[in-house]
Structures are given as C-alpha cells and as structure tokens.
Chains A and B, each alone.
Chain A
Amino acid sequence: QVQLVESGGGVVQPGRSLRLSCAVSGFIFSDHAMHWVRQAPGKGLESVAFISSDGITKSYADSVKGRFTISRDNSKNTVYVQLNSLTAEDTAVYYCARVGSALDYWGQGTLVTVSS
C-alpha cells in the first residue's frame, strides 16, 4: 500500500535551519511529482513547494520563496524540503503529498516549532 512518512521536525530557534524528509513506498516514486503542504496551528492548509518527477521543475509559495528548497532522491524514494531563515510564522505541521489525481496520498505530517 502507498505510504508517505515525514521526519525531521522539531523545535528550532528563529533564524536557524531544518531539513524535513518524506520517505515513500508502495508506488513508483520516480513516476510522480511531489508536494509539501503546511498547516499552522488552528489554521488552514497552505501549499509550500512542488517538485516534478524528475526533480527539474520546482515551484514555491511566495511566503517561502528564497528560504525553502525542495529536492528529491529517486534512488532513495525520498523527497526533502530544506527550511532556512525560519521565523515563528513557519511553525506548522508539514505534510508531504503525492501528486497524482491532485494530491491523492498524504503523510501524517511532522511538526516544526520555531521558538526561542
């Protein structure tokens, strides 16, 4: 069955960095684009970043452009997002999702808390 498992979340100080990972199984990873979505506490969903199946095309929400970098390793069935220059507004649960018929499979999320 399809599984997506995020990791790498935690508490980090403002201005610091964090790298999140999403390991997938149950489907041919290299056939699918991938996506990161975040959700601040008590708030709605916000698209963060997209990466094509071959890793060449990447796009970002304006709120994270220049600070976040999405990447993937098709040999490891893993997608990453590097979070730099973090602020309190980046505190959220970060989900990875498969791009199929829209976002058809989601992980359970990893919590990032930015606090001093």
Chain B
Amino acid sequence: IAMTQSPATLSVSPGERATLSCMAGQSATNNLAWYQQKPGQAPRLLIYGAFIRATGIPVRFSGSGSGPLFTLTINRLQSEDFAVYYCQQYDNWPGTFGQGTKVEIK
C-alpha cells in the first residue's frame, strides 16, 4: 500500500495549528500510525490505530480520518514540535511509510 503525505513542508508559527495529511493508496483499515522524528534521533510513536495517542504523548497531538485519508493535527505548536512527521500503514507487515512532512518554523 503506497502512502502519500502532504504537504512535503509546512511552515507554521509557534502557537498555531498544523494539519498534516496522509493518503493510503488503497482503502486501508485504521491500522495507521504517526511518528515524529527530530534530527539525529530515532522516530517516536505519536498515534496508532489512526486516532489513539501513544503513552506520554501530549493532548495537542490528535489523529483523525479513515481509509484512505488520515490527518494529524498539532494544536498550539510548541518549539519542540518542529520536526519531521511520518505516517505508516500496518495492515500488513512490514508496513509502509509515507515520505514525511517537515514542520518548520515560519
């Protein structure tokens, strides 16, 4: 299943909202995860099951949607949220990642 993320880059001011999209090439189940990656670090799981926050993830991160279109929303962006975000489908392992969306400071 091919995963397409948009936009490639999103410029947002601190305190504003960021909305990231992920399109599954085939209509997928809700086996959809979102990860955050900062430079030099391993990815971190944010959302699984399309909308369930992982342990310790702040409530400003929320996932929504259903196959084939999914959305990650980050409310009131904080400085530590500027990073690259990846979606991943895991209907079948190994899952497929999108190409990533970079959220940068405007």
Contacts and interface: CB of A to CB of B under 8 A. Distances in A.
Nearest to A52: B93
Interface stretch (A7-15, A23-31, A42-50, A83-91): A42-50
| Most A CB within 10 A of own CB, among B86, B92, B95 | B95
B102 to A, nearest CB: 10
B94 A35 contact: yes
B92 A102 contact: no
Contact of A45 (B31, B41, B45, B86): B86
A35 B96 CA distance: 12
A101 interface: yes
Interface residues on B, range: 20 to 34
A46 B84 CA distance: 14
B45 A104 contact: yes
Nearest to A93: B42
Interface residues on chain A, size class: 20 to 34
Nearest to B55: A104
B94 A49 contact: yes
A95 B96 contact: no
B95 A44 contact: no
A74 interface: no
Interface string B75-106: 00000000010101010111111111000000
Interface of A: 33, 35, 37, 44-50, 59-61, 95, 99, 101-109
18 contacts: A33-B93, A37-B97, A44-B100, A45-B43, A47-B96, A50-B94, A59-B92, A59-B93, A59-B94, A61-B94, A95-B42, A99-B93, A101-B45, A101-B54, A103-B33, A104-B45, A104-B48, A104-B54
Given A45-B86, A95-B42, 13 more contacts: A37-B43, A44-B97, A44-B99, A45-B43, A45-B97, A46-B97, A47-B88, A104-B45, A104-B48, A106-B42, A106-B43, A107-B42, A109-B42
